[in-house]
């Protein structure tokens, strides 16, 4: 009983407030003023930083701190003034220095912020070098530092803005990697933090508009229209490019929702007259050309799309407008029977396919990092809630726990070897059951990916028939981008399976690999024929060829799934 009372008293003892140790160095007043200045005048801050020199007379420890502080501020100033990161090595040195200080002074808010800011800027630098995975890792590390130290739900002011900016960077990174679900999540979280901070003039409107675009891309039209509308309501003025882009986006979305071609065209015509640059004008031309294409008014579509393509090509741009215009023009010339011109645009698009694939290949690693961060976040939340619950229920929990200890001890003595053997058998049966459902669980995770859901929904709705000419299903054909996205989903869930499969069976062509991805979804030959726009007999020949290479005559879906598991175990 005395032991019980001791435990109860010790558990209910109030936790002491953390002691904030005094820092052994002096932070430069000049650098602090420059830091404040940078929040509203980065150009002036950069000029001052370039001429600043830490005072060695302030002591070696203070000199070292201010030298690293200056490196951090230089990185931020260069970024905010649209300059490249010229001092990458200095920033990395500063990051390691602030991380070491964060361990020594773990209760000091300012030191924690220096550590978080340095990782954020490291992410900016890596992203600038197109090192997507390392950039993602740094941004997630930034969030981890903030979430481990602060109650982020209660943050306001600069710290809330910093969280908003970090989530915004992740939103942009995920968007460029076609990870739409993750991008939407980060966009919504950044919006929450912007509202808690003192946001810049257009930050909330811009975030709302980006969310609208993400929902637009994912085909969720009602949500897209809502966010576009909210973005327009939150704009402080309308005499800007941002407002005109929203008008254009809403016009196209209204057309897609069935509100008519002519009204959309009139709205787009109004923003064309307000265009302030050639790039903006080409964007409007492309949008109008795409609407004419959808209406099958090809003569008008060609005029606008050729203007976009020629202007972009002559200026040396290889941007998205040029490629999208080329894709539309290829389809128009195909439909008009001009195969020579259509093939010319096909070659242009083919040159870009490998670049897209390389970008998609990074998606698996980025997604893995993000999932690890979410697991860490959930675990921290669970541990925090567990700790609170433990404190609240200490008086009842401890007696029950002691009683359980005594009870378990008595029962275990009575169980004997026979009962232990029975429990062991039960455990083995459980393990066998788990292995049996493993395939179903993993396949479910794979098929939950957006591209998989899109393909499976089409197959379910259309019920493709082998006796119907595949040409009749041309509206459901998969494009290169969708096939690349499917490969990325396969590699994400099955440990870079397409690469391993190619290594194990080098006779497989790149096209064979695409077909393997489709069969891994459980599709039938008739489905593949419709989606790939190939004769049914050609698809059967392709399947037989793949089975021959894999040295099997069994169901191809099952064979491929078994091979994914082999990839896991031999990794």
- Nearest 5°: the CA angle 539, 543, 545 is 115
Question: Is it the case that residue 381 has pLDDT exceeding 80?
Answer: no
**pLDDT, tens digit (0-9, with 9 covering 90-100), for 61-76:** 888 999 999 999 999 9
Residue 7 lies in a domain: no
**pLDDT, tens digit (0-9, with 9 covering 90-100), for 389-425:** 444 444 343 343 433 333 333 333 444 444 434 444 5
pLDDT class of 208 with cuts at 50, 70, 90: very high
Residue 561 lies in a domain: yes
What Å distances lie between residue 402 and 6, 51, 389, CA to CA? 13, 67, 18
Pick from 255, 199, 202, 203: which is nearest to 225 by CA? 255
Report the pLDDT value the prediction gives residue 483, as an integer from 0 to 100. 86
pLDDT class of 352 with cuts at 50, 70, 90: low
Residue 195 lies in a domain: no
Residue 331 lies in a domain: no
Question: Domain range holding 500?
Answer: 429-570
**pLDDT, tens digit (0-9, with 9 covering 90-100), for 330-350:** 888 888 888 888 888 887 776
Query: 506-529 b/e with 16+ CB inside 10 Å = b?
Result: eebeeebbbbbbbbbbbbbbbbbb
Question: Is it the case that residue 209 has pLDDT exceeding 60?
Answer: yes
Residue 125 lies in a domain: no
- Nearest 5°: the CA angle 128, 309, 255 is 90
Euclidean distance between CA atoms 537 and 529, whole angstroms: 9
Q: How many CA atoms lie within 13 A of 69 on its CB side?
A: 25
Q: Does residue 221 sit in helix, strand or coil?
A: helix
- At CB < 8 A and 24+ separation, what contacts does 307-315 make? 307/282, 308/282, 311/278, 311/282, 312/282
Pick from 191, 180, 162: which is nearest to 220 by CA? 180
pLDDT class of 39 with cuts at 50, 70, 90: confident
**pLDDT, tens digit (0-9, with 9 covering 90-100), for 127-154:** 988 888 899 999 999 999 999 999 988 9
pLDDT class of 317 with cuts at 50, 70, 90: low
Determine the average pLDDT of the residues in 249-265.
88
Residue 560 lies in a domain: yes
pLDDT class of 51 with cuts at 50, 70, 90: confident
Instruction: Name the DSSP class of 197.
Output: S
Among 52-56, 224-228, 532-536, which stretch is predicted with the lowest mean pLDDT? Answer: 52-56
Pick from 146, 148, 169, 170: which is nearest to 158 by CA? 146
Report the pLDDT value the prediction gives residue 356, as an integer from 0 to 100. 46
Residue 487 lies in a domain: yes
Question: For the CA atoms of 530, 533, 538, 544, what is the dihedral angle to 10 degrees?
Answer: -60
Among left, alpha and beta (phi > 0; psi -120 to 50; other), residue 415 is alpha
Q: Does residue 562 sit in helix, strand or coil?
A: helix
Report the pLDDT value the prediction gives residue 416, as an integer from 0 to 100. 41
pLDDT class of 496 with cuts at 50, 70, 90: confident
Euclidean distance between CA atoms 306 and 286, whole angstroms: 9
Instruction: Name the DSSP class of 277.
Output: S
Among 304-308, 328-332, 359-363, 471-475, which stretch is predicted with the lowest mean pLDDT? Answer: 359-363
pLDDT class of 269 with cuts at 50, 70, 90: confident
Report the pLDDT value the prediction gives residue 365, as an integer from 0 to 100. 52
Euclidean distance between CA atoms 283 and 413, whole angstroms: 79
Is residue 199 within 8 Å of 161, Cβ to Cβ?
yes
pLDDT class of 112 with cuts at 50, 70, 90: very high
- pTM (global) more than 0.75: no
Euclidean distance between CA atoms 97 and 65, whole angstroms: 8
Residue 30 lies in a domain: no
Count of domains for the chain: 1
Cβ neighbours of residue 52 closer than 8 Å, sequence gap 6 or more? 30, 31, 34, 70
């Amino acid at each position: 009983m005395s032991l019980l009372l001791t435990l109860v008293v010790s558990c209910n003892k109030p936790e002491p407030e953390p002691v904030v140790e005094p820092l052994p160095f002096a932070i430069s007043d000049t650098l602090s003023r420059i830091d404040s200045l940078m929040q509203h005048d980065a150009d002036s801050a950069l000029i001052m930083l370039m001429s600043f020199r830490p005072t060695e007379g302030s002591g070696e420890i203070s000199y070292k701190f201010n030298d690293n502080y200056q490196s951090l501020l230089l990185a931020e100033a260069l970024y905010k003034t649209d300059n490249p990161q010229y001092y990458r090595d200095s920033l990395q040195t500063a990051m390691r220095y602030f991380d070491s200080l964060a361990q020594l002074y773990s209760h000091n808010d300012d030191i924690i912020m220096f550590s978080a800011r340095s990782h954020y800027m490291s992410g900016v630098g890596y992203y600038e070098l197109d090192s997507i995975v390392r950039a993602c890792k740094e941004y997630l590390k930034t969030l981890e530092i903030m979430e481990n130290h602060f109650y982020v739900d209660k943050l306001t002011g600069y710290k809330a803005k910093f969280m908003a900016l970090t989530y915004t960077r992740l939103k942009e990174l995920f968007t460029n990697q076609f990870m739409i679900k993750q991008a939407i999540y980060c966009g919504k979280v950044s919006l929450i933090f912007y509202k808690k901070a003192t946001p810049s003039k257009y930050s909330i409107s811009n975030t709302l508009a980006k969310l609208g675009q993400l929902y637009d891309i994912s085909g969720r039209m009602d949500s897209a229209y809502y966010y576009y509308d909210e973005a327009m309501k939150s704009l402080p003025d309308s005499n800007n490019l941002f407002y005109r882009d929203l008008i254009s986006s809403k016009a196209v979305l209204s057309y897609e929702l069935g509100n008519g071609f002519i009204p959309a065209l009139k709205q787009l015509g109004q923003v064309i007259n307000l265009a302030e640059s050639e790039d903006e004008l080409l964007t409007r031309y492309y949008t109008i050309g795409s609407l004419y294409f959808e209406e099958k008014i090809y003569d008008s579509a060609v005029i606008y799309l050729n203007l976009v393509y020629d202007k972009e090509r002559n200026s040396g741009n290889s941007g998205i407008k040029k490629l999208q215009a080329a894709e539309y023009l290829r389809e128009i010339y195909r439909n008009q029977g001009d195969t020579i011109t259509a093939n010319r645009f096909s070659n242009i698009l083919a040159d870009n396919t490998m670049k897209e694939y390389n970008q998609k290949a990074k998606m698996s690693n980025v997604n893995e990092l993000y999932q690890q961060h979410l697991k860490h976040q959930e675990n921290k939340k669970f541990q925090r809630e567990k700790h609170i619950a433990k404190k609240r229920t200490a008086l009842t929990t401890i007696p029950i726990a002691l009683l359980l200890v005594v009870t378990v001890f008595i029962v275990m003595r009575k169980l004997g070897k026979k009962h232990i053997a029975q429990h062991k058998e039960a455990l083995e049966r459980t393990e066998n059951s788990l292995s049996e459902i493993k395939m179903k669980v993993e396949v479910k995770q794979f098929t939950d990916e957006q591209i998989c859901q899109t393909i499976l929904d089409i197959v379910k709705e259309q019920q493709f028939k082998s006796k119907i000419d595949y040409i009749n299903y041309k509206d459901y054909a998969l494009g290169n981008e969708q096939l690349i996205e499917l490969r990325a989903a396969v590699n994400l869930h099955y440990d870079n399976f397409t690469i391993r499969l190619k290594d194990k069976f080098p006779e497989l062509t790149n096209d064979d690999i695409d077909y393997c991805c489709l069969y891994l979804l459980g599709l039938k030959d008739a489905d593949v024929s419709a989606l790939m726009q190939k004769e049914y007999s050609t698809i059967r020949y392709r399947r037989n060829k793949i089975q021959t290479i894999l040295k099997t005559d069994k169901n191809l879906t099952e064979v491929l799934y078994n091979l994914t598991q082999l990839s896991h175990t031999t990794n």
